[in-house]
Structures are given as C-alpha cells and as structure tokens.
C-alpha cells in the first residue's frame, strides 16, 4: 500500500518563507549601499538573494516597499533608542530645560554605537547610513521624512526650550551639520583626514564621540549669534 506524499510541515514552510524574506532584505541592503536607489533593481536584488521576482513581490509588493523595509530594519531600533533617551532626559528634567550636550548625545550616540559595535553589522550600517544621507532620489527623500521627521520634531521642541534665543531654522541647520559631522566620523573619513595631516589615527572612540558632542553643542549655541539663516537667505546681510 502506497502512502501519499506529505505536504511540507507548516512550521518548515513558514521558516522557508522567513529565510527568503531575510535574504531579500540582506541583498537589498547590500546593493542599496553599493549602488544607491537607482542602481538597485528588483531583478538585481532577487538575483543576489537567490530568489525570484515573484517572491519579492509576494513579500514586499514593489521595489519601493522592499527598500523601505530594508531601511526600517536599520532605522527603527535606532529611533527607538533616541526616543527612550529623550524621554529619560525629559523625565529627569521635570519641565526644566535640558542641557544641550545631553540632547545632542541622546540623538547621536545610537548612531555612533551602531557603527562601532562588535559583530558583522556595523560595516553594513555605516554603508547604508552613508548612502541614505548622500542619495538624493525623491523616493528616499520621502522615506527620510517619514522615518526621521516625527522624532526630529521632538528634539527640536526640547532644543528650543534649551536655546530660546536661537531661531528654529538655525537649530535645524545646526542639527543637520551635527549629524553630518557624526556620519563623516563613523564612515572612516576622520582617519583619512588625520593621515593627510600626518597624524596618528585616533584609537579612543569614546573620546572622539565626546569631541563631536562638544563641537555640535557649540555649533547649536552659535546659532544665536550673528546673522540668522533667514537673513542670509533673503540676502539681507553683507558678505
């Protein structure tokens, strides 16, 4: 008496689906970091993942949603840590203004630590973060607004309380420059510039981070002095 072939166990099938989804996310992350949004076609991603386009469409529906899921996998834990750090500062302050350095550290430290933690993840994080900052594609601009604006708004409110004399536009510019300095450092460019200057590489990563925090806080405070960004845009200040 022959026995009919058994269908795969549900658990095994679910595991296979999970593995395919993870491979697609890993491949999308790698190609996005290497080639940017335009260079990461769905066909190239599925080929790198050892999957097919139908599987990618099944799990994500489109290339845009696949890239979105890829970035969310990296950014959501980062933003959660930033939010928790801000809430801890607000609770401790009990309504009083929070020290600028503490706000800067709360926002920037998760990036720094994700880029320097042990294991295989940091290099991938650095490359994805660098590409996300530099790629001007409109889809990514929309994604960055979705991923970062709500949390940035919380930080701007706290910074405005700490620096009431600094216009909001100047806080935004200072915040963007602070983030740029951090990305520059975690991407390895700091070591490159030190070598150009004939200096030894910095081995104390925490000392580098403390320097970034001090530099960024000073820049934010400087927004309250001199010509505001709005005046510069309007051409109301002589160069």
What CATH number corresponds to the domain at position 46? 1.10.10.60
Number of domains in the chain: 2
Asked if 53 and 92 sit in the same domain, the reply is: no
Going by C-alpha positions, the residue among 80, 100, 79 that lies closest to residue 218 is 100
* Residues 142, 185 within the same domain: yes
Q: Do residues 79 and 197 both lie within one domain? A: yes
What pTM value is reported for the model?
0.81
The per-residue pLDDT for range 11-22, each reduced to its tens digit, is 444 445 559 999
Q: Copy the structure tokens of residue 80.
A: 């959660």
Looking at the domain assignment, is residue 9 inside a domain? no
In a domain, 4, yes or no: no
Residue 237: φ, ψ to 5°: -125, 130
Same domain as 103, residue 200: yes
Q: Which residues lie below 8 Å from residue 92, measured CB to CB, with a gap of 6+?
A: none
CB neighbour class for 160 (10 Å; exposed up to 12, middle 13-18, buried from 19):
middle
Q: Six-digit token pair at 140?
A: 């990514």
Give per-residue pLDDT as tens, 148-192. Answer: 999 999 999 999 999 999 999 999 999 999 998 888 888 777 777
Range of the domain at 38: 14-61
Query: Which residues of the chain fall below pLDDT 70?
Result: 1-18, 116-122, 203, 224-239
Instruction: Count the neighbouring beta carbons within 10 Å of the beta carbon of residue 135.
Output: 17
């Amino acid at each position: 008496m022959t026995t009919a072939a058994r269908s795969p166990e549900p658990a095994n099938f679910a595991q296979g689906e999970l593995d395919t989804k993870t491979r697609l996310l890993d491949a999308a992350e790698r190609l996005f970091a290497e080639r940017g949004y335009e260079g990461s076609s769905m066909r190239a991603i599925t080929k790198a993942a050892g999957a097919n386009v139908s599987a990618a469409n099944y799990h994500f529906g489109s290339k845009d949603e696949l890239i979105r899921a890829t970035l969310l996998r990296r950014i959501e834990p980062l933003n959660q840590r930033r939010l928790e750090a801000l809430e801890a500062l607000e609770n401790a302050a009990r309504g009083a203004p929070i020290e600028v350095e503490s706000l800067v550290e709360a926002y920037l430290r998760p990036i720094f630590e994700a880029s320097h933690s042990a294991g295989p993840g940091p290099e991938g994080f650095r490359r994805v973060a660098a590409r996300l900052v530099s790629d001007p594609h409109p889809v990514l601009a929309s994604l960055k607004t979705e991923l970062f604006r709500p949390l940035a708004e919380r930080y701007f409110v706290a910074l405005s309380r700490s620096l009431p004399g600094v216009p909001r536009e100047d806080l935004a510019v200072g915040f963007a420059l602070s983030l740029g300095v951090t990305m520059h450092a975690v991407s390895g460019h700091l070591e490159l510039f030190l070598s150009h200057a004939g200096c030894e590489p910095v081995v104390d990563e925490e000392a580098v981070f403390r320097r970034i925090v001090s530099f960024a806080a000073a820049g934010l405070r400087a927004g309250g002095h001199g010509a505001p960004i709005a005046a510069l845009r309007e051409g109301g200040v002589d160069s």
